[in-house]
């Protein structure tokens, strides 16, 4: 966990190390559920890409000409072990991975609203296979730490980055609940696709606030319900067939949550309806997708009869130490 060496903040190092070691003891067991991902990771980690391009919509790791036909087949077979691929697109030594989500669209919506990432310490909470972490690389952050408790996604990212060799990207099998161990640590925290899965969203936002450096920025993307009133939907069982969905807010409701949790300069900069163009079944994700979650006769409703989801994007900042709220210089 060499990432701790890149962090100067006064974080709870012993507790982080203990949590990390406990998760490593767990994941290093010789159990089928871990080996099914560890083995393809170990094979993929024997390949090193000469060519890496994270500037375009597709994250390109390695060129097809760098490997033999046999090696290309091995790589493709190992990549398939990480199915279903939710986030992408990636191109890995010539294998094109068309994931369920067109993640490049989310990145395009937010990239112009980001603070300067150069030299920054960043957390991506629920980073999945690291698609957005790779997209941050061209901006030269000092460290992007992915928090990701899923073993499948953890090994998928590790495999991709073993081939890509980005030393400023790292991942740990931690969850958003570990953020309290990192007070005043991160210049920027990405919290995307997470908040509606939290039973206590305001507590999560407070934890984010605590983990930011004074003046640091949170970038939030969330499923939302349409509307301008400050309400949240609390589904009885599932929302769009997804269990573990707690509060689905309107954009305005989420602004209010952020303000109550202590953020300043809260801005909602994008809201858009979801569509089956952006989330769909592909050869790399062969299960149900967006169109199966929506009432076919009433596309503005989910199969449960709730308002169909939209997505909202917000930024907010932790108060600076001098209490300055705005990005303009504060004159005291």
For 187, phi then psi, to 5°, come to -75, -35
For 38, phi then psi, to 5°, come to -65, -40
150 binds ligand SAM (CB under 6 A): yes
Dihedral angle at the C-alpha atoms of 321, 324, 328, 332, nearest 10 degrees?
-100
Spatial strand order in the sheet of 59-61: 52-53, 59-61, 90-92, 95-97
183 binds ligand SAM (CB under 6 A): no
Residues 38, 45: Cα–Cα separation, whole Å: 10
Closest CA to 266 of 309, 321, 208, 211: 208
The nearer residue to ligand SAM, 62 or 193, going by C-beta atoms, is 193
273 CB neighbour count, 10 Å cutoff:
12
102 binds ligand SAM (CB under 6 A): no
Residues 154, 319: Cα–Cα separation, whole Å: 33
Give the CA count within 13 Å in the CB-facing half-sphere of 156: 25
158 binds ligand SAM (CB under 6 A): no
128 binds ligand SAM (CB under 6 A): yes
Q: Which two tokens stand for residue 243?
A: 């269990």
The nearer residue to ligand SAM, 86 or 120, going by C-beta atoms, is 86
What residues from 233 to 262 belong to the interface with ligand SAM (CB under 6 A)? none
The nearer residue to ligand SAM, 148 or 187, going by C-beta atoms, is 148
What residues from 203 to 232 belong to the interface with ligand SAM (CB under 6 A)? 221
Instruction: Among 84, 115, 149, 183, indicate the residue that binds ligand SAM (CB under 6 A).
Output: 149
Q: How far is the CB of 149 from ligand SAM (least distance, A)?
A: 5
DSSP code for 277:
T
Which residue stretch of 157-165, 192-200, 209-217, 270-278 sits at the interface with ligand SAM (rule: CB under 6 A)? 192-200
87 binds ligand SAM (CB under 6 A): yes
Closest CA to 51 of 110, 108, 93, 112: 93
Residues 273, 223: Cα–Cα separation, whole Å: 10
- Rg, the chain, Cα only: 20
Instruction: Among 84, 94, 115, 175, indicate the residue that binds ligand SAM (CB under 6 A).
Output: 175
Q: Cβ-closest residue to ligand SAM?
A: 126
Instruction: Among 126, 130, 201, 216, indicate the residue that binds ligand SAM (CB under 6 A).
Output: 126
125 binds ligand SAM (CB under 6 A): yes
Q: How far is the CB of 45 from ligand SAM (least distance, A)?
A: 21
Which residue stretch of 69-77, 147-155, 275-283, 322-330 sits at the interface with ligand SAM (rule: CB under 6 A)? 147-155
Instruction: Among 37, 82, 147, 155, indicate the residue that binds ligand SAM (CB under 6 A).
Output: 147
Report whether the peptide linkage leading into residue 6 is cis, meaning its omega lies within 30 degrees of zero.
no
Instruction: Among 23, 153, 158, 317, indicate the residue that binds ligand SAM (CB under 6 A).
Output: 153
Instruction: Among 88, 146, 193, 216, indicate the residue that binds ligand SAM (CB under 6 A).
Output: 193
The binding site for ligand SAM (CB under 6 A) comprises 87, 103, 125-126, 128, 147-150, 153, 175-177, 192-194, 221
């Amino acid at each position: 966990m060499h990432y701790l060496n890149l962090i100067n903040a006064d974080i709870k190092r012993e507790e982080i190390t203990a949590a990390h070691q406990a998760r490593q003891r767990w994941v290093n067991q010789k159990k089928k559920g871990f080996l099914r991902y560890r083995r393809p990771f170990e094979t993929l980690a024997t390949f090193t890409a000469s060519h890496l391009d994270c500037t375009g919509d597709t994250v390109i790791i390695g060129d097809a000409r760098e490997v033999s036909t046999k090696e290309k087949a091995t790589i493709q077979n190992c990549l398939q072990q990480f199915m279903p691929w939710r986030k992408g697109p990636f191109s890995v030594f010539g294998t094109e991975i068309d994931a369920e989500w067109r993640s490049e669209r989310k990145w395009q919506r937010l990239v112009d609203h980001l603070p300067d990432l150069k030299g920054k310490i960043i957390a991506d909470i629920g980073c999945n296979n690291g698609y957005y972490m790779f997209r941050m690389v061209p901006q030269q952050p000092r460290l992007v730490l992915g928090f990701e408790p899923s073993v499948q996604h953890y090994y998928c990212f590790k495999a991709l980055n073993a081939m890509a060799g980005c030393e400023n990207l790292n991942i740990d099998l931690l969850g958003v609940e570990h953020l309290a161990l990192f007070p005043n640590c991160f210049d920027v925290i990405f919290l995307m696709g997470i908040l509606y899965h939290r039973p206590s969203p305001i507590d999560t936002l407070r934890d984010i606030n605590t983990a930011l450096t004074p003046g640091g920025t949170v970038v939030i993307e969330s499923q939302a319900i349409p509307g301008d009133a400050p309400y949240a939907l609390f589904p009885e069982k599932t929302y769009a067939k997804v269990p573990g969905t707690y509060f689905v807010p309107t954009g305005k409701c989420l602004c209010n949550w952020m303000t109550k949790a202590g953020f300043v300069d809260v801005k909602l900069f994008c809201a858009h309806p979801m569509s089956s163009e952006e989330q769909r079944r592909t050869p790399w994700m062969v299960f149900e997708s967006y169109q199966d979650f929506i009432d076919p006769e009433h596309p503005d409703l989910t199969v449960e009869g709730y308002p169909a989801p939209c997505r909202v994007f917000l930024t907010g900042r932790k108060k600076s130490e001098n209490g300055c709220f705005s990005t303009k210089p504060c004159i005291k």
